[in-house]
Amino acid sequence: MPGLPPSSELLGAYAIATCEPTFENLERTAPKEPGYCTQAAWASDNPGYDTDVTPAPPLKKVQVFFGPACR
């Protein structure tokens, strides 16, 4: 959310509610308004990444990103 520090969350490979792959679910549900950026990466590509730290550290290898603030 714009104005707040970056946060992170550990997700599974599939969205439980829809059974669709997580990256597809993120593309469909990520905010599209100015100031938003949603990034996702495989945990295996980011060893040691701590999802409990705020602000969230940058991902080492981003697989997908959605939102105007990502550019």
Amino acid identity of 1?
M
CA distance 38 to 69: 9
CA distance 12 to 42: 10
At 18-31, the pLDDT tens digits run: 899 999 999 999 99
Residue 2's pLDDT is 80
pTM as predicted: 0.85
pLDDT above 80 for 1:
no
Angle at 42 between CA 69 and CA 33, to 5 degrees: 20
At 26-60, the pLDDT tens digits run: 999 999 999 999 999 999 999 999 999 999 999 99
